[in-house]
Every structure is written in C-alpha cells, then in structure tokens.
Amino acid sequence: ETGVTQSPTHLIKTRGQQVTLRCSSQSGHNTVSWYQQALGQGPQFIFQYYREEENGRGNFPPRFSGLQFPNYSSELNVNALELDDSALYLCASSLSGGSSYNEQFFGPGTRLTVL
Amino acid sequence: AQRVTQPEKLLSVFKGAPVELKCNYSYSGSPELFWYVQYSRQRLQLLLRHISRESIKGFTADLNKGETSFHLKKPFAQEEDSAMYYCALIKSYQLIWGAGTKLIIKP
C-alpha cells in the first residue's frame, strides 16, 4: 500500500506567478483535502475533493483552485501569488467524503516560498 | 465561530513526569475532537479521537463539555513522546486546527 505523496518538495516563486502542486492519494482513497500551514500555525483547510467534485471549501479566495482526477490524485493551483502564500501545503487523503469523518492520511507537504 | 486554542506553544518536561497538553475549543453543537502528532521528520498522523475513547501510546484525552476542553494527558512521559501536537475539531467535512504545542521531553 502506497502512502500519500506530494510534489514538488520545495518550490520558489515570485509574486504574481502561478503555481501547481500535486498530490497522489493513498491507494483506495477517494477523497483529498488540501491545507495551508503557515510557519508556527496549525493547518488551515483550503478545500476538499470527493470523487472529482469540490466537496467543501475554507476561507480562501478563488485564486486557490483545485482538481481531482479519475485516479483520485489531485492538484492545487494558486494564481497571482502573494507573499503571504508562502507556507507548507499539505494534502491528506481519506476514504469516502460527505459530512462523516474518516481518518485523513497526510503527505509530507510542499514548501512554497514566494519572493 | 468555531475555534481551537492551544495556549502553550512549548511544553518541556522531564522523562517520567506527567504530561498535560491543553486544548480548548468553541463550537456550537456536539464537537468531535482529535489529537494529531508530528514526530521529527515524519508526517502528521492521528493520535486519538474522543469518540473512540482509546489510550494510544499511553495518552488519553477526555472531552469536558462544561469547560470546553480536550486536554491530552500521559502519566509518565517518555523521550520518544517529543513531538509537535495539534488539537483539532471537525465541522462537517473540514478540520479546524489549533496552532500546536511542541512537547520536549528532557532526559
């Protein structure tokens, strides 16, 4: 069984650019959640995808968007990068979605630095 | 608004001493609460959730609705308990997290 993987590990971008982060979910999982973790803070929920549809969204602007593919892997896209977008981006996969909670398994994260 | 507060950024105790990591929450309704742990160079993982009422690695946590708390406790700390600990609650599909407490166990 393969765990959650994320790519790239680290990324440096400049303000105004666009970035795509990738996540491969754990085998058998159909739900992916994305989180932003600023330095010294807990993760903040960005959105969740369940069976290729956005299943819920946190308090993030529309320039944060995502996709989930038929194999349940996922992308997080951020347009018009701002300095405050510098953070660790975590992906977590789980089985099933909706309002019930099933344990989320986390990837190692992508460290994004915006200059 | 739903919120999770971990008042201590850092907690340092000696090996063998009791540990209590504090977590307070605000939530309208019946909360479902969790503790997550991140060991050095490892990824976030679930430690325990209140509905299962388990003891994991010697840790327990009791939900106190009167005090809106979900403190994590262990009677005798071990060096391998050194890690970052996060308290979180679930609201529908999303986890709401505290800022975390770094626990250091001194030999």
> What would the 3-class secondary structure string for B8-70 be?
CCEEEEECCCCEEECCEEECCCCCEEEEEEECCCCCCEEEEEHHHCCCECCEEECCECCCCEC
For residue A82, pLDDT beyond 80? yes
What is the mean predicted confidence (pLDDT) over B77-87? 97
What is the pLDDT, as a whole number, of residue A91? 97
What is the pLDDT, as a whole number, of residue B42? 93
What is the pLDDT, as a whole number, of residue B78? 96
**CA-CA distance, B75 to B61, in Å (whole number)?**
12
Between chains, do B93 and A56 touch, taking CB under 8 Å as contact? yes
What is the pLDDT, as a whole number, of residue A97? 54
Determine what percent of chain A is predicted with pLDDT higher than 90. 81
> pLDDT digits over A42-80, tens only?
999 999 999 899 988 999 999 999 999 999 999 999 999
What is the pLDDT, as a whole number, of residue B51? 78
CB nearest A43 (choices: B32, B90, B97): B97
Residues belonging to chain B with any Cβ–Cβ distance to chain A shorter than 8 Å: 4, 6, 9, 32, 43-46, 86, 88, 90, 92-100
Distance from CA of A19 to the nearest CA of B (A): 23
Task: State the amino acid at position B84 in one-letter form.
Answer: M
What is the pLDDT, as a whole number, of residue A100? 57
In which residue are the tokens 């981006």 written?
A: A89
In which residue are the tokens 């398994």 written?
A: A105
- Residue B92 burial by Cβ neighbours in a 10 Å radius (0-12, 13-18, 19+): exposed
For residue A1, pLDDT beyond 80? no
Q: For residue A32, what pLDDT band results from cuts at 50, 70 and 90?
A: very high
Residue of B nearest to A108 (CA): B43
Residue B90 structure tokens: 């679930």
Task: State the amino acid at position A81 in one-letter form.
Answer: L
Determine what percent of chain B is predicted with pLDDT higher than 90. 75
B48, B95, B96, B102: which to substitute to probe chain A, counting the most A Cβ within 10 Å?
B95
Average pLDDT, chain A: 92
What is the pLDDT, as a whole number, of residue B76? 96
A31, A45, A54: which to substitute to probe chain B, counting the most B Cβ within 10 Å?
A45
Between chains, do A48 and B94 touch, taking CB under 8 Å as contact? yes
Nearest to B47 by CA among A113, A104, A49: A104
CB nearest A40 (choices: B96, B97, B99): B99
A48, A106, A111: which to substitute to probe chain B, counting the most B Cβ within 10 Å?
A106
What is the pLDDT, as a whole number, of residue A6? 97
> pLDDT digits over B28-75, tens only?
888 889 999 999 999 999 999 887 777 789 999 989 989 999 999 999
What is the pLDDT, as a whole number, of residue B101? 98
**CA-CA distance, A50 to A29, in Å (whole number)?**
10
Cα-Cα-Cα-Cα dihedral sign, residues A95, A100, B7, B21: negative
